[in-house]
């Protein structure tokens, strides 16, 4: 089964940049997109309706054109849940969980710590709430967790680690929270298969960052430890454009 995550940085914008071709080429069973920036959940006339897929959307209820995620799946899920426990963070349109017979897929656009780290406490609370939510799910079946997790975990995951040590996405607090998640029984699938490879999934639009490959690896697929033997491939697809991120994929035998 193939999973793909892609922060599109505005669905309507990326639609004019060959997104449909990218979607088809990646041939995912579950394709999750982040930062749709839609003001309302699509109704009958969706901005993107791929044939053969069920579609699930959630948008920010607090600010129009902010955040928002969507999941497209070939296999109809047993259930769909928005947000974490009790729907928390769905007010910002950040998380969708799809339940399948043998696992949960959780797709997320994790809160950014913000300019001046003004949302760092909010971000760290998300991480604590996520652990609680995952414990609830994990008691039933294992988890596949993917999306823009907004953290470069280790120096290998960022072009300029020293100069970014106090910047959002590379603070010691965020990196420690990510380590805590892994220690709770989850596997960083890309780093598991590519322990020494330097590859990034996000580049600033400033300073020709993508041309110079001055990037960050902040998009991930994690899986429960029980699914480690099922990992077949995990890739970062730098060959696809259209956003300040590129897609990532996970092939899993489930």
Q: Which residues are catalytic?
A: 109, 148
> What 3-state DSSP class applies to 130?
helix
Q: Please give the structure tokens belonging to residue 25.
A: 């080429």
Give CA–CA dist 214/208, Å, rounded.
Answer: 8
Q: Are 111 and 119 in contact (CB under 8 A)?
A: yes
Q: Are 196 and 212 in contact (CB under 8 A)?
A: no
Instruction: Output the DSSP codes for 176-209.
Output: HHHHHHHHTTEEEHHHHH-TT----SEE-SSTTT
């Amino acid at each position: 089964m193939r999973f793909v995550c892609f922060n599109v940085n505005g669905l309507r914008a990326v639609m004019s940049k060959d997104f449909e071709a990218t979607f088809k080429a990646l041939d995912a069973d579950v394709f999750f997109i982040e930062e749709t920036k839609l003001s309302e959940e699509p109704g009958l006339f969706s901005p993107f309706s791929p044939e053969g897929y069920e579609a699930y959307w959630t948008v920010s209820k607090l600010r129009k054109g902010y955040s928002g995620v969507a999941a497209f799946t070939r296999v109809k899920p047993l259930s769909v849940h928005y947000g974490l426990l009790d729907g928390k963070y769905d007010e910002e349109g950040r998380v969708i969980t799809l339940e399948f017979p043998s696992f949960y897929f959780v797709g997320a656009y994790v809160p950014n710590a913000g300019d001046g780290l003004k949302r760092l406490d909010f971000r760290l609370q998300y991480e604590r709430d996520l652990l609680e939510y995952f414990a609830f799910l994990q008691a039933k079946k294992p988890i596949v967790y993917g999306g823009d997790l907004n953290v470069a975990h280790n120096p290998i995951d960022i072009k300029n680690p020293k100069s970014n040590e106090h910047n959002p996405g590379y603070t010691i607090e965020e990196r420690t929270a990510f380590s805590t998640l892994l220690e709770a029984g989850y596997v960083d699938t890309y780093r598991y298969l590519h322990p020494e490879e330097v590859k990034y999934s996000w580049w600033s639009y400033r300073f020709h960052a993508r041309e110079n490959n001055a990037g960050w690896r902040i998009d991930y697929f994690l899986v429960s430890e029980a699914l480690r033997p099922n990992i077949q491939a995990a890739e970062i697809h730098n060959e696809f454009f259209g956003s300040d991120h590129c897609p990532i994929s996970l092939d899993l035998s489930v």
